Amino acid sequence: MQDAAATQIPSPELEGPLFQLTDLNYRYVNGPRALNGVNLEIAAGDRIALVGQNGSGKTTLIKQLCGLLLPEKGEVCFKGEPLSGDHLDRSRLEIGLLFQDPDDQLFGHTLIDDVAFGPSNQGLSRDQARKASLRALDRVHLVDRAYKPPHHLSFGQKKRAALAGLLAMQPAVLLLDEPTANLDPSQEQVFLDLLMDYKGTLVCISHDLLFLYELCQRAVVVKKGRIAHDYTMNDLVAQRNELRAHGLDFSFRLESGTKGMDKGPSASVCQVEAPSETAGQPLMLEMRDYDFRYADGTQALSGVDFCVAPGERMALVGENGAGKTTLLSCLLGLQQGEGTYLFEDKPVTRRLRKHLWRNIGMVFQDSADQLFCPSVGEEIAFGLKQMGAPKKEIQQRTAEALSLVRLEGFEPRVPLHMSGGERKRLALACVLAMSPKLLILDEPSAGLDPQGEELLLSILSDLDVTLLLVSHDMFFVSALTHRTVVMHQGSICQNLSTDAFFDDPGLGNLNGLAYTFRQRCGEAIQTLQHEHEHSHFHRHVHSHPHAHEQGAHDHAHEHIHGHPHGFAHNHPGGDQPHHHARRRYHDHAHDGEHGSHDHGHALPDDHSIPPAKGRGSRTEKGS
C-alpha cells in the first residue's frame, strides 16, 4: 500500500475540503434513485477507493464530482464553490474522468488528435498541445501509434490512450471508473505505475481490491445510493465479515488450493503443429496455418493452428493486442482469413459461415452490446425465434435458462434497469437457451463485484458444455479450464494443460501474464485478515491508599471493564486442521488514575463475569 506522504502535492492552501457533497440526491429519468442523501468530504491529495456492489451508485457519484451529472437535490462544492455555471466550466479543465469503456472517450481520427483535444481546450497552442500529447503518449507507451486511428487499437491500448488524453491536461483530480477492467497484467502494471506517480487527488472505482490496496489509503463504501462506511484501506480489507456484508469479499481468490480444484478428467491436448482427433472422436473445430490481415495492413493472425474437442474446457490467454479478439471473430464467422478452418470436419465456406451462430454462442465482454430488447423474456426469446422454435418450446427454454443463471422470475424485468452482474448472467442465459455446441466467454468476470464473480463462477462450474474462456483473470482460468492456449503477437506460442501452464516458471516473461503486485498485496491482505480482534470483560483487583481523619490505609478494589484485543496467529502447513481459539491468559497495560500496571486475566468459558460483591467493589467499563 502506498505511503500517504508520497501522494501529497504542493498546492495553494485550501480552506476546507477540495470536494464537499451535502445531502446529494439523484434519480435517472424513469429510473431508480441512484443517490440518496450522500454526504462526503474529499481533501486535496486524498487517494480514495470508491467501492460497492454493481448498481450501488458509484459511477453516478463520480459523474457528479466532475459535473457530468447535476444534483436533483443537494450540493456538490469544488474548492469551496458550488459546481455549476462558470465555476463548473473552469473546473472541468482541472478534473479528469476515465470512463470504464474507452470507446466512450475516443473520437478523433488519430490518437494524437484525441489526446490533444483536452490541452487545446485548456488554451494551449497547436504546437504546445501536440508536444503535450506526445509526452503523454510516451508515458503510456503508445507514442509509436500516435497517428493510428483509435478504433484499430486493442482494448488495452484504447484504455491507455484514454488515460493519455487526461494526463496531457495535467489535471488536479483524476476520477477513474474500473481502470483495470479487461487489461492484461503487464498493462495493469503500466496503469499502476502511472497512477502511483500521479501527485493529485485520485478517486478510483474498482471491484479489484488488490489493485486498490496498492493504490489507495481510504475506502468509501457505497450501498444503495448512500455512503455506508468510510474506512482506511487497511481496515476494509482486514475485516472479512464487513467485506461479506457489502458484497465485496474477494477472499475466495486468496484461499490456497485454487489451482488444485477438482477439474475432473484431464482434457486431451492437441499438438500445435498438427491438430488431430482426440480420443477417437472428430474435433469440433480446427484451424490450420490460419492468417488474417486487416484492411490497413495490420497482420492480426499468423500461422495459427488451433483446435477444440467436444466436451473440452479450455482457456485462450495472452496480452492485450495478441490477436485473441480477431481469432474469436474468425471462429464466429464474422471475419474470414486465409488457411484451413473446419467445423465438425466440414470446411467453413462463405455459406457455412452464415450458420455458425446456431452452433457457436458467445457472451461479450460488455453485455450491453448484446442486450437490446425491452424485457428479459423477449431478450431470451429473440435468438430462439431466429432458430424457428415454437412458442411453447421458447417458454420452456426461457425458464430453464433463467434457472441456470439464478434469474428465475425475471421475465418481465427491463434489462437496462438490472445491475451489471444480472445483465452479465442474462447475456449468458440468452446464449445457453440456444443450446450452442461451443460456448465462448469473453472476459466474463470483468466489471463484476466479488459477490457477482463468486456466483458466476459457481454457475459456470456447473455447466455441462464445451467451453472456450478468453480471459486475463487467472483465477477463472485455473478454476474453469483443463487446457490453456497462449497467444502472442498473432501466433499461438504455448498449448498445454492448465496445471502445466501455472507451473511454468517462465509464466509472464514473454506474454505479460505474471501478477507480481497481486501476489504481494494478496499476501499482505491475508496477514491483515489473520489478525483477529474481539472484546471481552476482565475482572482485576488493585489496591491504593485512602486518607481518613483517623489515618491512612489501603485496601483492595475489584472491578470489571471491557476493551478489544487484537491477536495474530499462524496456520500450520499444508491442510492441517486448526482453530482460531482465543488466548485465555494475557497481560496488558492500563494508563489511568492508578498509573500504568500489568496484570493477568483469566477469561471464563462463557465470557461473562458477574459483578463482584463485597467491600470496596464496583462495576465499571473502561477503555
- Contact partners, residue 275, CB within 8 Å, separation at least 6: 283, 286, 287, 288, 305, 306, 307
Return the H-helix or E-strand segment holding 131: helix 126-139
pLDDT reported for residue 207 = 87
pLDDT reported for residue 157 = 87
Q: CB of 41 within 8 A of CB of 20?
A: yes
Name the residue among 344, 329, 232 with its Cα closest to residue 285: 344
> 155-177: buried (b, 16+ CB within 10 Å) or exposed (e) per residue?
bbbbbbbbbbbbbbbbbbbbbbb
| Residue 109: half-sphere exposure toward Cβ, Cα within 13 Å | 0
Residues 85 and 87: their CA atoms lie apart, in Å, by: 5
Q: CB of 604 within 8 A of CB of 539?
A: no
Q: Per-residue pLDDT for 554 more than 50?
A: yes
Residue 321 confidence class, pLDDT cut points 50, 70, 90: confident
Q: Per-residue pLDDT for 516 more than 90?
A: no
Q: Per-residue pLDDT for 349 more than 70?
A: yes
The predicted model gives 118-125 an average pLDDT of: 92
Residue 561 confidence class, pLDDT cut points 50, 70, 90: low
Residue 13 confidence class, pLDDT cut points 50, 70, 90: low
Is the pLDDT higher at 230 or at 533? 230
Residue 235 confidence class, pLDDT cut points 50, 70, 90: confident
- Cα angle 51, 54, 59 (rounded to 5 degrees) comes to 65
pLDDT reported for residue 260 = 35
The predicted model gives 281-288 an average pLDDT of: 88
The mean of the pLDDT values for the chain is: 79
List strands edge to edge, sheet with 285-293: 299-308, 285-293, 338-343, 346-347
Strand 483-488, strand 491-497: pairing: antiparallel
Radius of gyration of the chain (CA): 29
pTM over the 0.85 mark: no
Q: Which domains does the chain have, with CATH numbers?
A: 106-164 (no CATH), 268-359+437-529 (3.40.50.300), 369-431 (no CATH), 532-602 (no CATH)
The predicted model gives 263-276 an average pLDDT of: 34
- Residue 560 corresponds to which cell in the numbers above? 470489571
Residues 169 and 503: their CA atoms lie apart, in Å, by: 44
pLDDT reported for residue 276 = 41
Q: Tell me: the pLDDT tens digits for 399-448?
A: 999 999 999 999 999 888 787 788 899 999 999 999 999 999 998 988 78
Residues 71 and 247: their CA atoms lie apart, in Å, by: 27
Provide the H-helix boundaries in 12-110.
58-65, 85-91
Q: Tell me: the pLDDT tens digits for 455-482?
A: 898 999 989 999 999 988 888 898 899 9
pLDDT reported for residue 282 = 81
The predicted model gives 100-108 an average pLDDT of: 89
Residues 83 and 80: their CA atoms lie apart, in Å, by: 9
3-state secondary structure of 305: strand
pLDDT reported for residue 347 = 92
- Residue 170 corresponds to which cell in the numbers above? 495535467
Q: Per-residue pLDDT for 208 more than 90?
A: no
Residue 202 confidence class, pLDDT cut points 50, 70, 90: very high
The predicted model gives 329-355 an average pLDDT of: 90
Is the pLDDT higher at 588 or at 77? 77
Residues 316 and 355: their CA atoms lie apart, in Å, by: 24
pLDDT reported for residue 385 = 93
| Residue 175: half-sphere exposure toward Cβ, Cα within 13 Å | 20
3-state secondary structure of 307: strand
Q: Per-residue pLDDT for 618 more than 50?
A: no
Share of the chain above pLDDT 70, in %: 74
φ/ψ bin of 412: left (φ > 0), alpha (ψ from -120 to 50), beta (otherwise): alpha
pLDDT reported for residue 437 = 94
Name the residue among 492, 436, 490 with its Cα closest to residue 468: 436
pLDDT reported for residue 418 = 83
20-34, 109-123, 370-384: least confident range:
20-34
- Cα angle 226, 227, 229 (rounded to 5 degrees) comes to 140
Q: Per-residue pLDDT for 8 more than 50?
A: no
Return the H-helix or E-strand segment holding 445: none
Q: Per-residue pLDDT for 583 more than 90?
A: no
330-339, 348-357, 590-599: least confident range:
590-599
At 16, give phi and psi (nearest 5°): 90, -175
